[in-house]
Amino acid sequence: MKGTLSSSNFSFPNQSDVYHGKVRDVYSVGDKLVIVATDRISAFDHILPEPIPFKGQVLNLIAAHYLNATKNIVPNWVENIPHPNVTIGKKCEPIRLEMVIRAYLAGHAWRTYKSGLRTLCGVTLPEGLKENDKLPKPIITPASKAMEGHDEDISVEAILAQGIVSKEVWDSLEKYTKALFKKGSEMAASRGLILVDTKYEFGIYNGEVVLIDEIHTPDSSRYFYLDGFDERQAKGEAQQHLSKEFVREWLMSKGFQGNDGEQMPEMSKEVVNNISNKYIELYERITGETFVRTDVSLIETKVLQYFH
Same domain? 202 vs 279: no
Q: Which of 211, 242, 273 is the last residue of a domain?
A: 242
Is 2 part of a structural domain of the chain? no
Is 153 part of a structural domain of the chain? yes
- pTM above the 0.75 mark? yes
Same domain? 65 vs 129: no
Same domain? 102 vs 123: yes
Supply the pLDDT for residue 13. Answer: 87
Supply the pLDDT for residue 219. Answer: 84
Please, which contacts does 253-257 make with residues 24 or more away whose CB atoms are closer than 8 Å?
256/44, 257/44
Stretches in the chain below the pLDDT threshold 50: none
CATH number of the domain bearing residue 193: 3.30.470.20
Supply the pLDDT for residue 23. Answer: 92
Domain residues for the domain of 299 are 15-93+246-307
Same domain? 151 vs 113: yes
CATH number of the domain bearing residue 85: 3.30.200.20
| Residues 266, 284: Cα–Cα separation, whole Å | 28
The total domain count for the chain is 2
Is 3 part of a structural domain of the chain? no
Same domain? 129 vs 155: yes
Question: Residue 257's beta-bridge partner residues?
Answer: none
Same domain? 186 vs 207: yes
pLDDT in tens, 227-265: 999 999 999 999 998 888 889 889 999 999 989 999 999
Supply the pLDDT for residue 221. Answer: 93
Is 8 part of a structural domain of the chain? no
Supply the pLDDT for residue 65. Answer: 97
Same domain? 100 vs 233: yes
Residues 6+ apart with CB under 8 A from 46: 258, 264
Same domain? 54 vs 174: no
- Tell me the one-letter amino acid at 124: T
Supply the pLDDT for residue 145. Answer: 79
Same domain? 193 vs 121: yes
Q: Which of 210, 242, 274 is the last residue of a domain?
A: 242
* C-alpha closest to that of 19 among 9, 6, 32, 30: 9
